[in-house]
Structure 1
């Protein structure tokens, strides 16, 4: 099915057909005796009426069920032009391609409190309210929209026919076998550039201790690493990427997404190009809460005033916030509180926020992988890399790259370091601040992981750590010690059965001096081979490919995330049409829902319940 630009879209059938029929009748009835002026006046009045009807239906989210889709294709942009390229129509005031960077938080001198998610730690003492009530999702013209950021009223809409819903065209498109984008169209919301690209242009202000402009190169990938670095990498496709660049990487890919549309009634989801991760990073240290929350409140005012919002109260909207969820969940309004309150705003609770670490106790965020150093440009580049790590000799049974956490009583890193030092089959790379840091170079830790069968992955400064994805990229089987590090986080990108690709040893076992070496030696060579092959097969799903290229036979982390969002919205819409409404979920169990199998209930006991106890 041919996709059209806006200028090529034919006259909407639902209105154009009626106009032709009415005009034909008028000509026959008048017999040519009414005079040219009368006919002209009639046409002017009729045209004005049709125009008003179209505008009314658009504002109601019901525009043109028979209208052709206005799909915008964005051509690839040369990376050297990120800061100078003129905006195309799809850029919508802030959608040009930019590189940018949200830097890592320094380990020393930070005022950030330890997040409330260590083993056995109670969750924040918030009321276990259910924000996602069963909505009617009636057209905005019914006047059911509330003042809480677009949350629909509690009236039932199950009596509405399917065609009466504002997302009827989008659902119909999903069944169009002749349209390769049917059911996958994404509409890009309009935002002024201060919400995205202006931050990148002012890259020197993104982080208080470091000039991060180096890392804003290449669409958020950072500086390119060439020459293979002694055989550790391939010749091309490798970059020194920072762990908090998802906002820019995702945005650059979305600009080139093959199924963009400028018709919101056709969209399976709405992308909001707000660089929330970059924005909050600018104000985490040394700013009061008014400054930290200002842009969050402003963006909510803008998006909730748009007709696209009223179609589903924002439940079809998504955006990236490329840091951990805790940077957006300030627990109090005092200046000493950490982060912004973006994720606590009622409107944002209706949306999906893509973060590198999600909350086990909230429903409005979803975790996507940290960026690694590998950004392939083709399927062949992935295949070559997979073959390389599959053939590597791995002299070390296990390894650990990281630093101790002497100030944290809950951290098991000191125990891991002690066991690794005492073992003849473990390789240790101790990280430290300053020039003595052995972990600062991607080549150094990737060389370690490539020589190891198992890679120890304890919690980082929060539940997760980028190192887990670096290890998997090297074909090293990760060993996790808390389910919050991966199992309840990246449920879109990693298998539900964690034993297929990883080893789990509980933190309590480590504290009781369980031997990691002994546990790993018990795993049979055949099981090790199966697990490594699964890890290698997961590489495409945990890397972000080049935006100007595309993978043909596999999906990267971006593709997996977009597909998951589209599926989530589509299921919700179908439930609404069928009269089931939206499933009510308890936020205190949000970590458990993706783990449920058929017949299981969220209240059923689970071995990890004590680790995510809700206070």
Structure 2
């Protein structure tokens, strides 16, 4: 009996031996545990997925750069950096002065420090009118919505300094050599995957010269300019230039650079307050040089200068001829415009003038003689109604035997109208300035500068292009 009990006990307690009921119970518990574990894992996965999707949507709603991302091409140095290194060969056409000093300080040029308290500021520079390519590129490098993910980009910026390159190679008598850079640029771009998506229709290029310099007619024997804008690939790009051709669908004019490059909206408002209170003792003024009288613009210039000189009590003429050097001193120019009620803006070598934006900066009401000088150019930066900020005098009014003189026309404008025009001119100041490059705007910064307005315009234009392709 004892032996049997021991035998029975040893069998019952053996670790590998279980009764059928016990085995069933263990299997049931194991199955239940595995099911609960799987449900738990699925629940976690579902919660995680939902949270991740929610966070993604939340981040999209709060991404202020959506629709504003820009992709900058890292071009071979031949198209920008090497051009700056060769700045000694980029000279002004008449006096052969090197452009090197004007390319310093983000393209703003040397600081202006003088006796005038209003200009004795770190935000004033002797800026050359043809350095916009460098200024724009430097500001773009610090733009708050850059991306290296091309799928996010709304637009693609091509930082080729075409205007400076043009000036550097102008002495080349072989036009094929001058045209070579444009062909090389597009050869390189066409190899990039970003270009292939829309064949360049979402790309833009900034040029600091008038567009006419890049549309040399192959049927014309003239040696002036290059054919950059006439190349087949160029028809897809958006070109931002200081003067556009009215007949070109892909050219958009943006302001010439002025002398003032503030770092904050506070500086801009302080300047606006100052020019509101300026005592303007000169009715109208003209800063410019004579042009050959054989051209229509030359004849107009001659008439403007003659009328200004004959109205010596009410008009001041600042001679910008190379020999006179009157306009090489930015402070003298700004003082004249700040003292003037109206600033005459007749066309010169082309329809537009940097002086238009210098006069607006000074709070001086521009007087135009050709609709193409501003009204049909800077649609992104200036009001559609040109009568809000300027005076237009048709050329026929100034021809020999014309009905009225400039002085008579300007004196006939009611004082209330003059005050309103000046107020509107002063309101335009922020939109025609290129402020110092700054990746992040100060808190509460609301004013847009010329760079911001230009980017907004080109992005909108490219979005319209995309819409047209989809349709």
Q: Distance in 1 between matches of 2:308 and 2:222?
A: 38
Equivalent residue, structure 2, for 1:503: 391
Contact kept, 8 Å, 2:172 with 2:178, in 1: the verdict is no
Residue deviations 1:553-592, cap 9 Å, x none?
Answer: 1111111101111111122323444x2xxxxxxxxxxxxx
Q: Which residue of 2 aligns with 1:429?
A: 318
CA contact (8 A) 2:243 2:254 kept: yes
Q: Decide which of 281, 304, 326 is 1:416's aligned counterpart.
A: 304
Within the candidate set 229, 241, 255, 1:343 is matched to 229
SS in 1 for 2:243: coil
**455, 466, 471: which is aligned to 1:573?**
466
Matching of residues 29-108 of structure 1 within 5 Å: none
Matched, 1:446 2:334: yes
Q: Classify the secondary structure of the residue corresponding to 2:325.
A: coil
Q: 1:528 aligns with which of 411, 414, 418?
A: 418
- Whether 1:547 aligns to 2:437 is yes
| Larger-gyration structure (1/2) | 2
Structure 1 residue 364 displacement after superposition? 2.2
Q: Which has the higher helix share?
A: 2
Contact in 2 for aligned 1:472/1:539 (Cα 8 Å)? yes
Judge conservation of contact 2:138–2:437 (CA < 8 Å) in 1: yes
Report the Cα distance in structure 1 between the residues aligned to 2:278 and 2:161, rounded to whole angstroms.
39
Among 264, 272, 286, the alignment partner of 2:150 is 264
Q: Name the counterpart of 2:139.
A: 253
3-state SS of paired residue (2:71):
strand
Partner SS for 1:198: helix
The runs of 5 or more residues in structure 2 that have no matched partner are 1-52
Partner SS, residue 311 of structure 1: helix
Partners in 1 of 2:325 and 2:154 — Cα distance? Answer: 46
Alignment of 1:590-609 (within 5 A): none
Aligned to 1:236: 122
Report the counterpart of residue 25 of structure 2 in structure 1: none
The answer to whether the 8 Å contact 1:415/1:510 transfers is yes
1:293 equivalent to 2:179? Answer: yes
CA distance in 2, matches of 1:335, 1:210: 28
Asked whether the equivalents of residues 331 and 337 of structure 1 are also in contact (C-alpha less than 8 Å), the reply is no
Deviation, structure 1 residue 299: 0.3
| In structure 2, distance between residues paired with 1:232 and 1:510 | 36
Provide the aligned length of Structure 1 versus Structure 2: 407
Q: Deviations over 1:144-182 (max 9, x none)?
A: xxxxxxxxxxxxxxxxxxxxxxxxxxxx99x94321101
**What's the TM-score once normalised by structure 1's chain length?**
0.64
Give the Cα separation in 2 of the matches to 1:197 and 1:335.
32
**8 Å CA contact 1:455, 1:476 repeated in 2:** yes
Ranges in structure 1 where 5+ consecutive residues have no aligned partner? 1-65, 70-171, 580-615
Q: CA deviation at 1:540?
A: 0.8
Question: In 1, Cα distance between the equivalents of 2:433 and 2:364?
Answer: 15
Indicate whether 1:560 and 2:453 are aligned.
yes
Q: RMSD between aligned alpha carbons?
A: 2.1
CA offsets, 1:95-119, max 9 Å, x none? Answer: xxxxxxxxxxxxxxxxxxxxxxxxx
Q: 2:77 aligns with which of 193, 197, 203?
A: 193
CA contact 2:285–2:343 (8 Å) conserved in 1: yes
Cα deviation, 1:392-440, whole Å, max 9, x if unaligned, reads: 0001111111122243341311111121122221122122213x32221
Partner of 1:463: 351
2:61 aligned with 1:184: no
Shift in Å, 1:211: 2.0
CA distance in 2, matches of 1:427, 1:452: 9
Match in the other structure for 2:361: 473
Counterpart in the other structure of 1:89: none
* 2:273 aligned with 1:273: no
Deviation of 1:231 (Å): 3.3
Match of 1:222 among 109, 126, 137: 109
**Equivalent pair of 1:232/1:446 in contact (CA under 8 Å):** no
Deviations 1:468-489 (A, max 9, x none): 1111100000000001111111
Q: Say whether the 8 Å CA contact 1:288–1:335 is kept in structure 2.
A: no
Aligned partners of 2:360, 2:257: CA distance in 1, in Å?
12
